[in-house]
Structure 1
Amino acid sequence: MTGNIKKCTLDDLRALQEISYETFNETFRHHNSPENMYAYLERAFNLKQLEKELSNKHSQFFFAYFNNEVAGYVKVNTDDAQSEKMGDESLEIERIYIKGKFQKHGLGKYLLNKAMNIAVERKKKKIWLGVWEKNENAIAFYHKMGFVRTGAHSFYMGDDEQVDLIMTKTLTE
């Protein structure tokens, strides 16, 4: 794999929005109505929302590059930026998004390892994420990487209630 990682800044706002729209749409449009997809994309990835997330000192975004092109990104959260109350000893991977044409090149593992390194640097004991219950490829990948299902929570795609499985990995020192 020829890639590298760069921490995102506010200068990357439009690129972050673009890749968020593209990857989310590629992954989920076949399972949701166009109206619900549009509603979610507009709420989750509008520039004001992404600027707020990028400005949060407890969240970090990192772009992954493949052959000098932005191929995907990871977003990690600690402390009160976590989307669920998991405590100070946990780090959340809120998003690992990779463009379809760059999947199967090891970028998911690359970004997951970046998140785990951040967790270890910050002396976190657990790393966790939410994954849509119907995203079988992602669930299999996280199982392979040592995550186990520890719960579930609901989220809304427009007006459609859906379920994310919560998966957790305990980190060893």
Structure 2
Amino acid sequence: MNTIKITKATTDDVLKLQAIGRQTFSETFADVNSEENMKKYLDESFATAKLATELDNPSSYFYLAVLDEKVVGYLKLNTADSQTEKEALNALEIERIYVAKEFHGKKVAQALYAQAEEIAEEIKASYMWLGVWEKNFRAVSFYTKNGFVQFDTHIFRLGNDEQTDLMMKKVLI
């Protein structure tokens, strides 16, 4: 397997981001959610205009994991007021790390996570945090192995379904 390249996404990458976002979210959650709720979430969260606005936001960062010129995963980070919950302004939120199912277990998520750590260091974040669905055991295990601990819960809306996310954090300083 060739080396995974992590590249910063720009507005020129909006269609690549949309494609990998829709693919990976569907692969991860379609089997355990209704088709109607999945469609609503995918249409709203991965709309071209919404993603373009998010890519333009200076407090959010997107990175693509590329292997042999194919996007196989992505990372979304939020800082300051762009965080999805009111956390410290000097915190870094990992909003999304998603990897195409065929690349699970191939260190793609770990490479994306390393990029998050690098940004946290650059911006001198006091901690990183995230929300992860309580039933996404694979992701919970990944974050636990990387030093995150649960500190709260919050509600995540997937279409019309309210789901519980574990809020996890890793203190850096």
Tell me, yes or no, if structure 1 residue 136 matches structure 2 residue 145.
no
**Deviation of 1:103 (Å):** 1.0
Q: Name the TM-score, length of structure 1 as normaliser.
A: 0.97
Give the distance between the partners of 1:4 and 1:50, measured in 2 at CA: 22
Correspondence for 1:39 = 40
In percent, how many aligned pairs have the same letter?
47
Amino acid at match of 1:12: D
In the alignment, the residues of structure 1 paired with residue 160 and residue 47 of structure 2 have an alpha-carbon distance, to the nearest angstrom, of 18
Counterpart residue identity of residue 52, structure 1: T
Q: CA deviation at 1:158?
A: 1.1
- Inter-partner Cα distance in structure 2 for 1:24 and 1:68: 21
1:95 deviates by: 0.4
- For the residue of structure 2 that corresponds to 1:129, the secondary structure is strand
CA deviations 1:51-93 (Å, max 9, x no partner) are 1111111001000112332110101010000000111120000
1:97 CA displacement:
0.8
Structure 2 counterpart SS, 1:23: helix
Gaps of 5+ in 1: none
- 2: CA distance, partners of 1:60 / 1:38: 25
Give the distance between the partners of 2:170 and 2:83, measured in 1 at CA: 16
Q: Corresponding residue for 1:56?
A: 57
Superposition deviation, residue 109 in structure 1: 1.0
* Partner residue in 2 for 1:104: 105
1:13-48 Cα distance to aligned partner (Å, 9 max, x none) = 111101110000000001100000000001111011
- C-alpha deviations, 1:100-129, integer Å up to 9, x for none? 011101111111111011011111110011
State whether structure 2 residue 68 is matched by structure 1 residue 67. Answer: yes
CA distance in 2, matches of 1:137, 1:67: 26
The CA distance in 1 between the partners of 2:171 and 2:113, in whole Å, is 14
What amino acid is aligned across from residue 168 of structure 1 in structure 2? K
Cα deviation for residue 130 of structure 1 reads: 0.6
Which secondary structure does the structure 1 equivalent of 2:170 belong to? Answer: strand
**Aligned pair count?**
172
Q: Partners in 1 of 2:112 and 2:166 — Cα distance?
A: 20
Aligned position for 2:24: 23
Task: Show the 5 A alignment for 1:72-87.
Answer: 72-87=73-88
CA distance in 1: counterparts of 2:153 and 2:92, whole angstroms: 17
Task: Provide the C-alpha distance between the structure 2 equivalents of 1:88 and 1:35, rounded to a whole number of angstroms.
Answer: 36
Alpha-carbon distance between aligned partners in 2 of 1:164 and 1:151, rounded to the nearest angstrom: 9
Aligned structure 1 segments of 4 or more residues deviating by more than 6 angstroms: none
Q: Compute the TM-score of the two structures, normalised by the length of structure 2.
A: 0.97
Q: Which amino acid aligns with 1:26?
A: E
Aligned residues: CA RMSD: 0.9
Query: Secondary structure at the residue paired with 1:166?
Result: strand
**Mapped partners of 1:122, 1:158: distance in 2:** 34
Work out whether 1:11 is the aligned partner of 2:37: no
